[in-house]
Amino acid sequence: MKKYISSCLAICCLSSAIYANDVKYDAQKIADIFYQLNADPKNPKVKVNHAKGFCAMGTFEPAQSINKEIDVPLLTYKSLPIQVRYSLGGAFKDDKSKTRGMAIRITDPQDSASWTMVMLNTEINFAKNLKEFGQFFEMRLPVNGKVDQEKISKMMQEVDSYRNFAAYTDKIGISKSVANTPFFSIHTFYFKQTGSENYLPARWKLVPSEGVAYLNEAQMKSASSDFLKEDFKDRVKTNKPVEYKMYLVYANKNDIINETTALWSGKHKESLVGTFKVNALSDEDCNFDVYFPSDVPQGVNPPQDPLFDVRNEAYAITFGMRQ
């Protein structure tokens, strides 16, 4: 873990910056915006994004067939331990909100190899570059104690990425359980092809074995603000693990692979990578931990879009500030 924190902190000063309206958007600026928007002075160690969450653990069982397609040594094991953190987006405290996050750390029990996956329940996000990412949160900061809702409404219509993301999220509901929530990589990663030096661009998705399901109106009214963890606890008591099938979704020739706002459409080649089984709660240490999506195993190369490196750098900065 320390090596990932150190490496991310080391490259913070090398990150590129974007200037828009005389505002410099880089990892430090974005971290500062998150602190202005979400920090809790009474709880300085609490995360400033995806603040609410709970910790779990389980296993990952790689599908041996995947080794015929991609050369990732970590996937040659029959079973691997995993740490999991489920979360809500932003600073939301009520589970009756749409955005869900899932961070998974797969560890090799025999050496230091690991794979950290940081995912959302949406296939795309709201920004394709630093300017859009920074402004999305900055426009929500109060000015003289008041949030400019008119400005927010205007930008949500004028910026294609914001408008498209809003239209996307309008089509999904509020998932009734983490067992009914899909999760997506959003970024495009590169996987070493078996028997070759080629790396194949692909995204991944976690498909819940129980299917995707949303709360209906009656359930919304009766659900508590902590129903996700409550439901998970009930599953643990009844020995009913949460299960996901992980698939690689390979990019087609004309797919946009360096923009996280690009929604791939049409038929794609998909391959089963393995099965995640989340079957127990763990201590709450994960809520103070940091999960770097740049932590990838041998055979996987990181994304090349303009947000990925800065995302990792911002995580390192906010983690350091929380200490």
- Residues belonging to the binding site are 315
**Which amino acid is it at 49?**
N
H or E element in which residue 85 lies: strand 80-88
- Residue set of the binding site for heme: 315
Alpha-carbon gap, residue 208 to 179, rounded angstroms: 6
Round to whole Å and give the CA distance between 93 and 50.
10
| Catalytic residue status for 268 | no
| Integer Rg of the chain from CA | 19
Beta strands in the chain (DSSP E): 18-20, 23-25, 53-62, 80-88, 100-107, 114-120, 183-184, 189-192, 199-208, 242-250, 270-281, 300-301
Contacts of 265 (CB under 8 A, 6+ apart): none
How many of the other CB atoms lie within 10 Å of CB of 17?
Answer: 13
For residues 182-193, one letter each, b for 16 or more C-beta atoms within 10 angstroms of the residue's C-beta and e for the rest, the string is bbbbbbbbbbbe
124: left (phi over 0), alpha (psi -120 to 50) or beta: beta
- In angstroms, the CA 75 to CA 39 distance is 38
CA–CA gap between residue 198 and residue 294 (Å, rounded): 20
Of 59, 50, 136, which is closest to residue 101 (Cα–Cα)?
50
Catalytic residue among 29, 47, 50, 105: 50
Catalytic residues: 50
